[in-house]
Amino acid sequence: MTDLLLRQATTDDLDALVRLENLCFDEDRISRRSFRRFLEVPRDRLMVATLNGELVGYALVLMNAATRLARIYSIAVSPSVRGRGAGEKLIRAAEQEAVEAGRIVMRLEVREDNHSAIGLYERLGYRQFGTYRDYYEDHGNALRFERRILFYEPSGNFPEVPYYPQTTDFSCGPAALIMAMAALDEGQAVSTLEELKLWREATTIFMLAGHGGCGPHGLALSAWNRGFHASAWISKEGALFKDTVRNEDKKRVLELVHEGFLHDIGQTEIEL
């Protein structure tokens, strides 16, 4: 239907949403209060379809703040326009809203005896991954479907990165840094000697036993000392892995080393 319009629902649609819900469902209806609550939660999305000014469909998408998943909680299409592509357009609009919100996967539930809806979801690329038993008010089962909606699309040209395999069990960080620097500077040494040199420079983590490890601060400073602009993205403040060190002197040294790196790192960028 070329004249079908899709948009975000507003509070002015509340009466029409309730009428459509009562028209489409005998059980498991969304109440007026729940519709109002969904309209007031900015994280979730309630899309509506209108035809000649009449609300003929909706799709309600929930997006939990703790995950990268989105979920079509409910979708309804008026019997007067079924079979004319309104359901597919609502699903596509719901997916686009979720993509713009950074969600990776869309999930939904559908009655196991709703063969027309199942056929639509499968045609759109959804695949069943589970079942909810006794899910609906009448004790019917729900099939769980999902589809990946967000894909990585590289833009522009990327430099070739030479592969350098680490030669020790404890120098993965220096090996990764060597590859990154060599991709930006063809004169960068790619050798075991450089790997071990970087490890000695960048080691900031004491282990219970065996060799120490390279933290992000040390690797960033080593790159900066070689003329690279380094950014370190750290998920926590303070010296890393300090709780795994039993010796109090080593803990004190670890903290001093951490403070020294933060002081010396100067022009590098640290994001906590």
Q: Residue 93 sits in a domain of what CATH number?
A: 3.40.630.30
The parent domain of residue 183 ranges over 172-271
* Count, residues in the chain: 272
Q: Indicate if 13 and 111 belong to the same structural domain.
A: yes
Count CB-CB contacts under 10 A for residue 245: 18
Same-domain check for residues 11 and 119 = yes
* 53 found inside a domain: yes
Asked if the structure places residue 161 within a domain, the reply is no
Tell me what pLDDT residue 233 has. Answer: 81
Same domain, 21 and 136: yes
| Domains identified in the chain, total number | 2
pLDDT value at position 239? Answer: 60
Whether residues 252 and 119 share a domain: the answer is: no
Over its length of 272 residues, how does the chain's per-residue pLDDT go in tens digits?
668 999 999 999 999 999 999 999 999 999 999 999 999 888 899 999 999 999 999 999 999 888 999 999 999 999 999 988 999 999 999 999 999 999 999 999 999 999 999 999 999 999 999 999 999 999 999 999 999 999 877 777 778 899 999 999 889 999 999 999 999 998 999 999 999 999 988 887 665 556 777 888 889 989 999 999 888 887 766 666 666 666 676 666 666 655 655 555 444 443 43
* Six-digit token string for 5: 């319009």
User: Are 22 and 139 within one domain?
Assistant: yes
* pLDDT value at residue 210: 60
Torsion of CA 219, 221, 222, 227, to 10 degrees: 130
**Closest to 73 in 3D by CA, of 59, 90, 84:** 59
- Provide the sign of the torsion angle of the four alpha carbons 134, 139, 145, 146, taken in this order: negative
Residue 216 falls inside a structural domain: yes
Report yes or no on 230 lying in a domain.
yes
pLDDT at 151: 87
Q: Are residue 143 and residue 23 in the same domain, yes or no?
A: yes
The reply to whether 107 and 192 lie within a common domain is no
Claim to verify: residue 130 and residue 247 sit in the same structural domain: no
Q: Cα separation of 47 and 97, whole Å?
A: 9
Please name the helix (run of DSSP H) or strand (run of DSSP E) that holds residue 61, with its range, or none: strand 54-62
Same-domain check for residues 137 and 179: no
Residues 138 and 219 occupy one common structural domain: no
Q: Is residue 153 part of a domain?
A: no
Answer whether residue 48 is part of any domain: yes
> Would 166 be classed as within a structural domain?
no
Phi-psi bin for 54: left (phi > 0), alpha (psi -120 to 50), beta? Answer: beta
Please indicate, yes or no, if residue 128 is contained in any of the structural domains: yes
Residues 124 and 252 in one domain: no
Domain finish residue from 115, 148, 181: 148
Q: Are residues 68 and 130 in the same domain?
A: yes
Q: Which residues contact 143 (CB under 8 A, 6 or more apart)?
A: 109, 110, 111, 112, 118, 128, 130, 131
